[in-house]
Each structure stands twice: as C-alpha cells, then as structure tokens.
Structure 1
Amino acid sequence: MSGGRARSAVVVGAGLAGLTAAEGLAARGVEVTVLEARERVGGRTRGIEVEPGAWIDAGAAYLGARHTELLNLIKELNLHTTPTTMLGASRFALGAGAGDGEHATRDGRFPPLNAVALGELFDHLAELTAAVRPEAPWLTPDAARLDALTAAEWAEHSLAHPDARLFFPLFLGEMMAADPADVSVLHMAFYLRSGGGLRYLNAFEGGAQQDRVAGGAHLLCERLAARLTARHRGTLRLGEAVRAVTQDADGVTVHTERGAAYRADTAVVALPPLLADALDLGPEPPARRAGGRTGRGCAVKVNLVYPSPLWREHGLSGWSVNAEGPLLSTVDDSPAGAAVGVLTGFVTGAEAHRYAALTPREQREAALAQAARLFPMLPEPVGFHVTDWVNDPYSKGCYAALFGPGDWLRLGPTLTAPHGRVHWAGTETSTEFFGLLEGAIRSGHRAVAQILDGGV
C-alpha cells in the first residue's frame, strides 16, 4: 500500500473492538471518527438498570484471569470486577436421567447423568480441541473433513450413550450459543481451544466465567468512548449506519444510510461477519466475510429481578441446567451490593429461535412458569427483561457468529487480511478468545498495529 502513515481513520462500529481500535489510533495521533448504527455504544454489551445505580448485563458479561487485555483495560478505566456467585446447590431438570424426580438438587455443577458417558463425551471433545491449530484452524490436520462435518453429525456417530447425547447440545448452547447442526466440528473445536480449553471455558472459579465487570460490561465502551472524545478529541457519531466504503489511491470514503460521507486515509470495519459482508465495498470486493452457512449466534438473555436473591436462603446457587426450555440454564447475576436478586436465564441454540418468535406476553409466561418449577420458593419477579440477540439488526446474533460447514477453509485464510485501505476488527477476527470480550480487544489492537506498521 502507498500513501505513508495514516493521519485519519474512520471506524465503523462502536462496540468493544471498534472503540479499542479507535482509541489506539487516536492515542498515536490519528484523527478518528467512529460511526455507530445504534443510538448507543457497546455493541454486544448492554446494561439494564434494575434499581437506581444497580446495573446488570443483558449481553456479554464474564471474564477470567487469562483475559489479560480486558483486565488491563478494566484497570485503565478505573473499573473493577465482581465475582460470579456460585455458592450453594444446583438445580437440574433433565428428565428421567435426573435420578430423583424431574427436578434434582445436587451439590456442584456436575449434572445427575451417567458419569462415564459424560466423561467419554469430554474425552472426545478434548481430543478434538487438542488437535486444532488455533492460530490457523484451516491448517489443522484433517481440516477439510472436520470443516465439512457438523457437530450434530459428529455427535450422531461418536456419542452412543443417551445421556451424552442429551447433554451435548446443552453444553454447546452454554459455551457457544450454538445448535450442533449449525456449526462445523472444526469451528466447535477451534472455539473451545481459542477460549482456553474445555475446563477453563466452562469454569466459574478459576475459569472464564469467574468474574463480571462491576456495574456492567457496558461501562467499558461508555468510558472508552468518553476517553476517545475528551482526551483524544475523536469524533463519535451515533445513529449513523454505514452502507458502503469506497477507496482510491488517496484514501477511503465511508457512506452512511443518512447520505453522509466521511473521508479518511483508512477505515476499520468492526462489525460481525454477516454485517461486514453486507457492506458495499466497491467494484472489487474483498474476500467474503461470511459464507452461505455462517449463522447467527443463537442467544436470548432473560433477566428476572426479585426483591432479593431468595434462592441463597434455601442453599441454592441459582445455577440450573435444563433439558427443555426456554431457560436451558440459569445463573445468579445479582449486582454486588444491591438489594435485588437477579436470576439470568440463557435461551440458546434452536430454542432461542423458538423463544424469540413468541409474543412478549408468551415469553414472560413461559420463563416465569419454568422459574417457578425450578425455584418454587420465588415470588413473582419485580422486573423482567428479555434481550433478543438473534433478531438484533446490528448484531446478527450473540455471543458470536457461528461458522458452519466449509466456513473456516473458505474464510479463515483472509480473516484479518486488509482490503486495500480497509482493515477488520471484531471478536470474530481474533483467533485468541474468539467470541469473547478479550477477543474483541485483541482484534482492535491488531487492527491498530496493521495500520501503523503498514502505512495505511
């Protein structure tokens, strides 16, 4: 590329990846404009105020000790973490396998299913995970076969015991917000390896779900945006959905749906793959950002607010795993120091699509009926919030895009390759902690390094 060092940049997307890139460039003297389609910053983080001054996460939330860039950012922004509370027994509704009735109460998080069968399941997954090349999944031994095979097909051939077959989609929904039919085996193995491995991703204490950002993860982007505009004099435009990026020998022009045009030396597109792929990038478009089988992360998050975390008084942690929806799992997400208790339900995989299609009244009735069966001591909640990420037009799913059969071999080699003066960011462009907050930050740092090291 020609043109020398970038003096100006337009960043498309004010999520964590985009704002990380924007502030990184601005801190090095680049004039930055950030364009965001929503009327808020934060991307797939979102906060809900459940009582004055007490916020909960309706989107991305959890972190662990290995998320070093995220922890550094939390410290820089004068934020703090709070532990995810997991004291007490768990509840399971797994049908006949539950052992002592439809609803079982057990210490710890291990489900009341056949331990040998689940051990074999995790051994199979560990073997796949260990073999993948996280820095270049498409170069993994036997990559073509693994990328052509769905996780559902793999399970059909590999899992003999009914308890393993029952638990596998629940596990994949919790880890990846995916239905096994929607992802390739290669993507499943990569995702688990990229996030730190099976045990780390699945763990609260000592794992990837150990802590949350005190006050809500949305504060990361709010404070980054404030620092960008105040300290570095960057520009942030909300409500500016981008439709096209054109470029010539001298720079780029970013066109918005409102008819505005922003000129700069370079651009960073920090959007999920399905949105990035829909942009008009000129007569010579780049390699595809998404394929025909690339799917939306299948997650709907349900937050039930109670006068206090009453389940704790009954020796329960708030954690549950359920074979039937809508709430396939629940966790205690009560804000630290607040009077209220918050039970967060995760609706994932195929169940997310079914639940998202219900009316608001039907969603409330279904979630409350299930919560009452799992935790019969609970009164009617004082607050009820549903965040539908499946149908969010500016996210196209959450936790992250789902790479289907053929995607890694087709998309992987060009995942981070610039398209002329257009660079890419977003958690789906990070082979480290793909799909997580940590991956978003690392992708923003990579985009900055590419621009500064490569001229534009």
Structure 2
Amino acid sequence: MNEGHRRSAVVVGAGLAGLTAATGLAAHGYAVTVLEARDRVGGRTHGIEAAPGVRVDAGAAYLGDRHTELLALAADLDLKTTPTTMLGASRFALTPDTPDSPASPDSPDRPARPARPALPDTPGAGDEPATRDGRFPPLDAVALGDLFERLTELTDAVRPEAPWLTPDAERLDALTAADWAEQHLTHPDARLFFPLFLGEMCAADPADLSVLHLAFYLRSGGGLRYLNAFAGGAQQDRIDGGAHQLCERLAEPLGARVRLGEPVRAVHQDDRSVTVHTDRGAHRADVAVLALPPLLADAIAYEPALPAPRAGDRTARGCAIKVHLVYPSPLWREHGLSGWSVNARGPLLSTVDDSPGGATPAAGIGVLTGFVTGAEAHRFGALTPERQRAEAAGQAARLFPMLPEPLGVHVTDWLDDPYSRGCYAALLGPGDWIRTGPTLTRPHRRVHWAGTETSTAFFGLMEGAVRSGHRVVAEILARA
C-alpha cells in the first residue's frame, strides 16, 4: 500500500452485517462503498406500513438481554425497545391432519366456517381450539419433556465455536432432523410438536437441516429455554417503531456511498486490489466485504475461484412467510388472551401479538402476526395473494372468534425473496458443517465474509449479524 494512499473497501449487502462493517470501516478512515441489490437498505429487516404512520416488522423483529451488541447499537442510534406483550392465555389447535380426516378448513375446496363464540379450556372434539394459561401446549407433558431433554443433550454436546469438531460430528451432520425424530420420538404428541417447534425456532422443515446444525443453532442462540422465551428470553423485546430503523440510521451518514439497486455479479482480485462488478460498472478497492447469505454468495463469479463453496447442495432456504393481520385494536386482550397460538394446521402455525407500543398499543390498531414456516411455507407461498389473505383471515377468526374482518392482511414471503433466499437464515443440511464450517469466516485473499450465517454466536439472529460486522472490521484492521 503506497504511503498516503487512503484505504478503501467495497461492502456487498446493506443489511445489519454489511452496514455495521461499513460504518466501522468508515470510522477508521476507509473510503467505503456499499452495494445493495434491493431498492432499500435493511436486508432481512423490513418495515411495512400496517396503518397510516404505523410500521411493523415484516422481517427480523425480536431481541433479548443477551443481545448486547444489538442493544448497544440501538442505544447509539437513539432507538428504544418495547416489550413483546404476552399477558393472557394462549390458544392451541393441535388436531393433526390424518388420511381419514376431513378436508382442512383452509382447503380451497371447503369454505371457511363461521367463527364460533366459545373458547373451550380443554381440547375438544374435532379441530376446536383450546385455551390454556401459559405457552405449554395441551399435549402429553412426559412426551414433550422427553423431547426437550433429548434436544438439550444434543445442544450441550455441540461445540458452538467449531461445530465440525463436535464429538461424533460426521454422524450428526449426515443425519437430518427428520431422521433423528423418526429414530428417537415414539410418542405421537412429540412427533406432532417437533416440526412446529422447529418452525418457530429456525423456520425449518425437519428434512432440511442436519442434527448438527439443529444442535448448533440452539446452542448458538443461548440454549433451548432462552431462544424459546419471551420474558427473559430472546423474544423479550422489539425495536420501538420497527427493527428496519437500525439499518436506515446506520446508512444515513454514508449517504450516496450506499448504492441501491446494484446487484453484484462478479468479484475479481489481483495482488493489489479487488474489483466488484455490477450491471452498472466496476468498483475497485483494497478489500471487499461480502455480507450475504451463503446461497447468494455462491451465485457470484469469483476470480480466482473460491477454495470452497459457501453452501452445499443440501443447503436450504429458511422457510418463513410472515403475515400481519390488522384490527381496530388488540381485541383478544379484552377476552383474556395474549394473541399467542400454536397450530398443527396451516397456514398460521403460530401467532403473536405484535401491536405497536407493546402493552399500550397505538390508538386504532392491533396487529396479530402469523408465522408460516417449514413445508407449509412452500404450500402457502404458491397460493394467489387473494387466497393467502382469505386463508390467514379465516384461521385467525377461528382461533380468536371475537375478531371482526381484518382491516388489512399483509403477506411477506421471504422464502422466494431473490435477495434473501429465505429467512430467518440459511439452513445447513446434511454434510454442510463438515464441508463448509472450517472456511466459514476465512478470508479469500482480499475478500472477507460477514452476515449472521458467519457468526457462531447467535447464528440467524440480528445479534449474530451485528457481531459478524464487528468481527470483519477487526480482521481488516489487523491486516492493514
């Protein structure tokens, strides 16, 4: 590097990881250019307007007290948090589909039934939802206890800083979570609940991820109890006004250095520089940071070629579609309900109260957020928008009979988003950790890697994205 030469960096991706890296490098004197394929910043955080002047999180939303880097960033950006409201009873509709059961109430061949006024407190006949205090489902407690004990054993054994070095890693990485469930879960209630649990935790179908990745994901996120908890857990709070504000405020001081609508096609390197090519031109710099999910990173042409791929042929997209149903107010609260539900049939496999303002919602609006995950996300995503809205509204009315027709139904499909390739994060399938884990964060000459999928702490979460941005800044400063 010539004396007097101002160091430069090209950052690919204007999500939390990329913008954390970009602002960190800029603070150390780097001339930074950020290239973003979308027409907005934010990556897998995204705010949509649920009502005039009110935005809700269509992407990543939740955080907890262990998410220290994220909380520090929010404080630096003058953003506040608001608690996720979980006061009241939960609703459960856990009658599974069977070959002999009638068509799902959400089937296109069967019209939605009128809402029933009763809220039974025990599981009833057919598919009538049950109301229970707390979040523990009305299933066999011994069977679920055994499931959680087995998952805890797997989680405790994994090496989160290097999962591929976990004892028995090759066998665990060759086995899918579906295979594991077939071998170890004998009670029908455990078999029913396991895919619902995976959908909530990591937006996964059991066939899409390895047992090693499942164990790592749970350990990386703070353990099964922490990840699954609201109060005192990873879902305790939200950013007041929406998590999308994090990236918007990070991008503000960078100004025109953030270039939107400019997807990257190729990255070429020589001994002196790296050049990042887009349809609009070429950007040359001393270093590049690629803050992309692995499936997107592998779609770029590299010269020289990568020594190892970022993804494998079994790497899957996180299967998540988020549905926001907007009502005049959170009416479920008036009936002693929290808005939380767990459902064996789709499309909404779980729901949560995401009304703005937490316990004191904004006047004139209540938001019930539904999660469509796993295999159900593929089915639901193939429907027409009209059918999607009808199915979601019909199911919400059956779960919460006091609800009127929603004022709006907003569907955000991350599974088929071309610039995310799924959400919450990539799902590492059989063999992925053994093949790609050792090179997860290893720079490729002048190319450095960021993104929540490169973080061995809080993988798949906003906290992991921010930590990866800090890590890559430290790497680059160390080589300068």
**1:257 aligns to 2:279 (yes or no):** yes
CA contact (8 A) 1:80 1:213 kept: yes
**Distance change (3 Å), C-alpha of 1:3 and 1:196:** farther
Match of 1:364 in 2: 389
Match of 1:83 in 2: 83
- Cα drift, residue 368 of structure 1: 1.1
- Cα drift, residue 383 of structure 1: 1.1
Structure 2 CA distance for aligned equivalents of residues 179 and 133 of structure 1: 23
Structure 2 CA distance for aligned equivalents of residues 181 and 304 of structure 1: 30
State how 1:150-169 maps to structure 2 within 5 Å: 150-169=176-195
Structure 2 CA distance for aligned equivalents of residues 278 and 38 of structure 1: 16
Match of 2:316 in 1: 295
**Percent identical residues:** 76
CA contact (8 A) 2:269 2:304 kept: no
Match of 1:213 in 2: 239
Structure 2 CA distance for aligned equivalents of residues 356 and 246 of structure 1: 36
- Cα drift, residue 3 of structure 1: 7.9
Structure 2 CA distance for aligned equivalents of residues 139 and 369 of structure 1: 48
- Cα drift, residue 454 of structure 1: 1.6
Amino acid at match of 1:89: A
Amino acid at match of 2:302: L
SS at match of 2:311: coil
- Cα drift, residue 285 of structure 1: 2.4
CA contact (8 A) 1:6 1:265 kept: no
CA contact (8 A) 1:150 1:180 kept: yes
Match of 1:20 in 2: 20
- Cα drift, residue 283 of structure 1: 3.7
SS at match of 2:301: coil
Q: What's the TM-score once normalised by structure 2's chain length?
A: 0.92
SS at match of 1:91: strand
Query: Which residue, 308, 311, 314 being the options, matches 2:332?
Result: 311
Match of 2:257 in 1: 235
SS at match of 1:411: helix
Match of 1:172 in 2: 198
Match of 1:138 in 2: 164
Query: Which residue, 209, 228, 233 being the options, matches 1:183?
Result: 209
Structure 2 CA distance for aligned equivalents of residues 454 and 92 of structure 1: 54
Amino acid at match of 1:175: M
Amino acid at match of 2:423: C
- Cα drift, residue 144 of structure 1: 0.3
SS at match of 2:258: strand
Match of 2:40 in 1: 40
Match of 1:338 in 2: 362
Deviation per CA, 1:284-305: give whole Å up to 9, x if none. 3231100000000000000000
Query: Which residue, 143, 149, 153 being the options, matches 1:117?
Result: 143
Amino acid at match of 1:99: P
Match of 1:59 in 2: 59
Deviation per CA, 1:156-193: give whole Å up to 9, x if none. 01011100000000000000000000000000000000
CA contact (8 A) 2:96 2:345 kept: no
Deviation per CA, 1:372-425: give whole Å up to 9, x if none. 110111001101100000000000000000000000000000000000000000
CA contact (8 A) 1:423 1:447 kept: yes
Match of 2:105 in 1: none
Structure 1 CA distance for aligned equivalents of residues 306 and 243 of structure 2: 35
Query: Which residue, 269, 273, 276 being the options, matches 2:290?
Result: 269
Structure 2 CA distance for aligned equivalents of residues 326 and 208 of structure 1: 24
CA contact (8 A) 1:6 1:452 kept: no
- Cα drift, residue 319 of structure 1: 0.2
Match of 2:29 in 1: 29
Q: What's the TM-score once normalised by structure 1's chain length?
A: 0.97
Amino acid at match of 2:279: E
Comparing 46-55 with 240-249, greater Cα deviation is found at: 46-55
**Distance change (3 Å), C-alpha of 1:96 and 1:226:** closer
Match of 2:458 in 1: 433
- Cα drift, residue 250 of structure 1: 1.0
Match of 1:106 in 2: 132
CA contact (8 A) 2:324 2:411 kept: yes
- Cα drift, residue 74 of structure 1: 0.5
**1:421 aligns to 2:443 (yes or no):** no
Match of 1:73 in 2: 73
- Cα drift, residue 282 of structure 1: 1.1
Deviation per CA, 1:12-64: give whole Å up to 9, x if none. 00000000000000000000000000000000010012223321000000000
- Cα drift, residue 6 of structure 1: 7.4
Structure 2 CA distance for aligned equivalents of residues 425 and 326 of structure 1: 33
Deviation per CA, 1:262-283: give whole Å up to 9, x if none. 1110100001000001111114
Structure 2 CA distance for aligned equivalents of residues 376 and 184 of structure 1: 39
Amino acid at match of 1:214: D
Long gaps (5+) in structure 2: 98-121
Amino acid at match of 1:293: R
- Cα drift, residue 195 of structure 1: 0.2
Deviation per CA, 1:51-98: give whole Å up to 9, x if none. 233210000000000000000000000000000000000000001797
Comparing 6-15 with 299-308, greater Cα deviation is found at: 6-15
Amino acid at match of 2:262: E
CA contact (8 A) 1:427 1:436 kept: yes
- Cα drift, residue 369 of structure 1: 1.1
Structure 1 CA distance for aligned equivalents of residues 96 and 50 of structure 2: 37
CA contact (8 A) 1:88 1:315 kept: yes
Structure 2 CA distance for aligned equivalents of residues 208 and 193 of structure 1: 13
Amino acid at match of 1:212: R
Structure 2 CA distance for aligned equivalents of residues 328 and 278 of structure 1: 32
Long gaps (5+) in structure 1: none
SS at match of 1:335: coil
SS at match of 1:352: helix
- Cα drift, residue 363 of structure 1: 0.5
SS at match of 2:401: coil
Amino acid at match of 2:395: Q
Query: Which residue, 401, 406, 421 being the options, matches 2:431?
Result: 406
Match of 2:413 in 1: 388
Query: Which residue, 133, 147, 150 being the options, matches 2:173?
Result: 147
